[in-house]
Chain A
Amino acid sequence: MPTVSMPKPDMPSGALVLLILRVLRSGPLHGYAIAQRIHSLSSDALRVEEGSLYPALQKILLKGWVTAAWGTSESNRKVRFYRITKDGVKQLEVEASQFDRQTKAIQAILRTA
């Protein structure tokens, strides 16, 4: 039976949501730009595939953390710009501090154990 190849997410989806919200805080971006920004901000370490980016975007749209509006890109293409909402900012703060605590805890274990 042939299998359909599925792009595997490069990172946990919770972290992806956090990163999307973070890059959107400095201003609205379209989907490809979000991926690019994450890629470059992580010094090319993190790669976001469309297979995980768009499901994550749909999810946070439904949550009401971002809104989307059609606009024109730098290259003059019709694209959808995502803008973070007040709820999104709040969520970002909550998740960022949580993530911070978690990574610190994990690092502490990694260092001492």
Chain B
Amino acid sequence: MRELLRRLHYLLNRRRFDDELREEMAAHRDMAEQGGGVRLGNELRLREASREAWGFMWVDRLGQDVRYALRAMRGSPGFTATAVVVLAIGIGATVAVFSAFNIVALRSLPVRDPQTILRFGRLAPERSASDVPYPAVAFYREHARTLSAVLAQTESSLSLDDAKTSASTFFVTANFFDELGARPSHGQLFRAGDDRAEAAPAVVLGHGFWINHFGSDPSVVGKPIRLNGKSATVVGIVAREFPGLAGDTPDVWALLPHHGYFVHGSQVLTDFSGVAMWGRLSPGATPESAEAELATLTGELRRQYPKDIWENERLTSHPGGRAEMTGVTEVFTLVGILVLLILAVACGNLGSLLLARGASRQREMALRSAIGAGPGRLIRQLFTESLVLALAGCVGGLALGSLALKGMLVWTDAPAWFDSTPDWRVAAFTVAVGMLSALLFGLTPAVQIARQKNLKQTTTVGRTILIGVQVASSCVLLIVAGLLVRTANVAASSDPGFEYERVVVVDPSLAEHGYDPARARPYIQDLRARIRNLAGVEEVSVTSTPPLSGLKVMAPLQRDGRAFMVYIHQVDPQYLSTMKIPLVRGQNLSERDERSVVVSESLARRQWPGSDPMGQLFKIGDDTLTVVGVAASARSLSPGDPDTVELYRLAREGDLPGLALVARTAGPPERLVTAIAAAANSVEPAFKPRIGLLKDRFAQNLRDIRSGALAASALGIVALAVACLGVVGLVAYSVAQRTKEIGIRLALGAERRHILTSLSRQFRWIILGGLACGVLGAAGLAQLLRRELYGLSTIDPIAYVGAIAVFLIAVGLAAMWPARRALRVDPLVALKND
């Protein structure tokens, strides 16, 4: 320990100690000379050997190398700028994506003590649910000792006073804001005790909603607003950065006990439908101890509610202080691969830049090894230069990445609590990527240059590989972009298999309003008849899953050992004709026969390949259904996924409260929205169904696809630009090397186009090889995209050929620029050179 301190002391004062050592050794020599000794050895080297004992020579060497690297970088500003920019692009792209992943998947939500928050779900041997019934939540809140607080939330969409705007509303327990440390930006938030059911209904506005809908008017606090026709007082506006717990923030926050006040007929507080439940661990409690205690409490609950609490039910917990977003892994796998490709292009590019520089530094290297630097020392020095470059690239990449992320967040209208400021994870990731890229682009050239052996040949091999990597990676990116662009076109122009231009969707959400099947039946029948009688309506039917609504009912099927999901549409016999989905074979569903089912052509092909689907028996859950007809395939629920298969069966008694209506109109559907709203009002004035146009949903869907295509294209273009830069460098280098040869050939009367041909022959195989690898890579990557491609083949020739054409044209143009120099070579000058 003391020795280490002394060492550090030496390190910090090493200049003084070095001087002392020099003086001391000089005295020694003088005395030795006087004593008749011989002066032997290199004084500097001897001193270095003594200093070696201090154990910090590497610091000195590193310092030397870094100083030297900085000097070399200053010496060639053009190279340095290109290298840092290219590297910053590559690192920046990965950093931006990692930061986004960090926000949605790694980082805790910016709420108070996110580590002690748990989200609970129900689990029994046979079934599970992510929501917990409110009566159970109340029971747990009353009795659980391991939880210091229990939070609950349920979501509803309410219509604002003008009835055209709908406001997404989170109904929460009164302790929600306090427990999460939320602050108001104006007014106040809910406080414990506010949730007595008899308290005057109060709401808190979401920050974004306050800005967009109330024009940031602070005087709205204290004023009444009408939601679903019910009056409530705005008590405050929540701060912009409050994230809530569900990964999304609503327009309006209200209190859970008031759910029934706003949502006509709601029984969420008394029935067992369920709300999202979180708990805050008491000091000293662990998730395991909480689960154990709650399991005991659930046992007691089951004695009170034997029908509603499942047999052997218990609560499971997982960390609740994180954003819970679905599909994050899939999206980030894909995007992560794309940005890593950009990084690969950048590294390839830098590698070839360094090699080219190495060739021009041959003399320097020869000199250095002549005065005693071993290959190890040279590699270390060259690698240090790469590290310094990588560090500069890290700084640039971090800035660029944060900027790109900020832009992305604005562009995608991300929640306000998404904080693009880098944290330690992002910083560590940046440094790691920087070091990795230093290894990728720095080590091979360093070894090759330092070895000095047959530099010209190895350099060419190295460059070939590095250019090949760039070609292949940017080619993959361009093809993926091409596929997505094609998808956007296909999705916009092809027939989705169902009518969407002239369809109005009416969703009364009867279940939410506490309707049971007995009350739902007359409502649906009445509303349906009224809409049918409106002038301009051609046909009306019902379905449990309106097209593109995000609602999905699926059942697992198995065929030849491979499991797949079938989308189940619970409809009436008019559904197929209303949506203009043609019946290809057999009969339609019939009201009289609940056991009949119509399958899509895709399902028929999948389930009974090569045999007749008609009359086949089909098991869904406990029901055995008979196939009576085959309808054309119509991917109305998951339009991008070509693997979807669907079936249509009659909606039964129990499905009634969950049904929505779809109406096909003769003319433009917009005209009927008001009339349909009036019809609904005359059936039941207490609440208003949500009324939407299918073509709006369709357009939104297309916008999403186009955004994806645009983003992929941007990545592709960046990669292409960097790769073109690499090609320019390569061709310029090769022209410079062959100036003499070209001069001779020109002098002997070669035509200029022959020179070009010979130049291009040199690169043809690199480019072709890179392209081939790129095509293979893209075909593999496209498998991940399959479900989003709208049935477009993953090897769609137009996308591939188009992308390759774009690539070749860009690279060709880029190569022409330095190649022109080859044509301008003056034979005389070229030969006189040297």
Contacts and interface: CB of A to CB of B under 8 A. Distances in A.
A51 B372 CA distance: 19
A108 interface: no
Given A55-B49, A64-B6, A32 B27 contact: yes
B42 interface: yes
Contact of A63 (B3, B24, B47, B51): B3
A1 B367 CA distance: 10
A68 to B, nearest CB: 9
B41 A78 contact: no
B432 interface: no
Contacts of B417: none
Tier of interface size on chain B: 35 or more
Contacts of B47: 54
B380 interface: no
Contact of A5 (B20, B31, B41): B41
A78 B31 contact: no
A73 interface: yes
Contact of A54 (B46, B369, B370): B46
A101 interface: no
Interface string A41-68: 0000000011101111111011110000
What is the interface of chain B mostly: helix, strand, loop, or mixed? helix
A6 B41 contact: yes
A7 B41 contact: yes
Contact of B370 (A2, A7, A77, A79): A2
Contacts of B798: none
A4 B372 CA distance: 8
A32 B6 contact: no
A56 B3 CA distance: 15
B32 interface: yes
Contact of B41 (A30, A51, A63): A51
Interface in B11-48: 20-21, 23-25, 27-32, 34-35, 40-42, 45-47
Contact of A4 (B24, B42, B51): B42
Contacts of B787: none
A55 B27 contact: no
B40 A49 contact: yes
Residue in A4, A50, A73 whose Cβ sees the most chain B Cβ within 10 Å: A50
A85 to B, nearest CB: 11
Contacts of A31: 24-25, 27-28
User: Which of B10, B29, B46, B370 is most buried by chain A, counting CB atoms within 10 A of its CB?
Assistant: B46
B45 A6 contact: yes
B253 to A, nearest CB: 67
A55 B52 contact: yes
A37 interface: no
B453 interface: no
Contact of A32 (B2, B3, B28): B28
A23 B10 CA distance: 26
A54 B41 contact: no
A27 B737 CA distance: 70
A77 B46 contact: no
Contacts of A50: 25, 28-29, 32, 41, 46
Contact of A58 (B3, B42, B51, B370): B51
B31 A58 contact: no
A112 interface: no
Given A54-B50, A62-B53, A64-B6, A32 B45 contact: no
Interface string B53-79: 111000000000000000000000000
Contacts of B30: 77
A78 to B, nearest CB: 7
Contact of B54 (A1, A6, A62, A73): A62
A75 interface: yes
B7 interface: yes
Contacts of A77: 27, 30-31
B45 A80 contact: no
B40 to A, nearest CB: 6
Nearest to B48: A55
Contacts of A79: 24, 27
Contacts of B51: 58
A73 B23 CA distance: 13
Contacts of B42: 4-5
Contact of B45 (A4, A56, A58, A63): A4
Contact of B3 (A3, A49, A62): A62
Contacts of A78: 23, 27
A70 B49 CA distance: 22
A80 B49 contact: no
B3 A59 contact: no
B49 A32 contact: no
Contacts of B34: 75
Interface string B746-768: 00000000000000000000000
Nearest to A53: B28
B92 to A, nearest CB: 43
A108 B369 CA distance: 49
A53 B32 CA distance: 13
A80 B30 CA distance: 14
Interface in A64-101: 64, 70, 73, 75, 77-80
A80 B20 contact: yes
Contacts of A61: 6
Nearest to A5: B41
Contacts of B3: 62-64
B370 A1 contact: yes
Which of A36, A58, A64 has the most C-beta atoms of chain B within 10 angstroms of its own C-beta?
A: A58
A77 to B, nearest CB: 5
A101 to B, nearest CB: 26
A61 B31 CA distance: 22
A55 B47 CA distance: 8
A63 to B, nearest CB: 6
A79 B372 CA distance: 32
A44 to B, nearest CB: 13
Contacts of A4: 42, 45, 372
Nearest to B47: A54
A59 B23 CA distance: 18
B49 A51 contact: yes
A35 B27 CA distance: 13
B27 A58 contact: no
Contacts of B369: 1
B811 to A, nearest CB: 43
Contacts of B28: 31-32, 35, 50, 53-54
A63 B2 CA distance: 8
B53 A55 contact: yes
Nearest to A52: B49
Residue with the highest number of chain A CB atoms closer than 10 Å, among B23, B24, B370: B24
Given A77-B27, A80-B20, A62 B6 contact: yes
Contacts of A59: 53
Contacts of A64: 2-3, 6
Interface of B: 2-3, 6-7, 10, 20-21, 23-25, 27-32, 34-35, 40-42, 45-47, 49-55, 369-372
List 7 A-B pairs, minimum CB-CB distance, nearest first: A58-B53, A54-B50, A32-B31, A59-B53, A32-B28, A55-B50, A80-B24
Interface of A: 1-7, 30-32, 35-36, 49-51, 53-59, 61-64, 70, 73, 75, 77-80
Given A1-B372, A77-B31, 18 more contacts: A1-B370, A2-B372, A4-B45, A5-B40, A5-B41, A6-B45, A31-B27, A32-B28, A32-B31, A32-B32, A35-B32, A51-B41, A54-B25, A54-B28, A54-B47, A55-B50, A58-B51, A62-B3
15 contacts: A2-B372, A4-B42, A6-B45, A31-B25, A31-B27, A31-B28, A32-B28, A54-B21, A54-B50, A55-B52, A62-B53, A64-B3, A70-B20, A77-B31, A80-B24
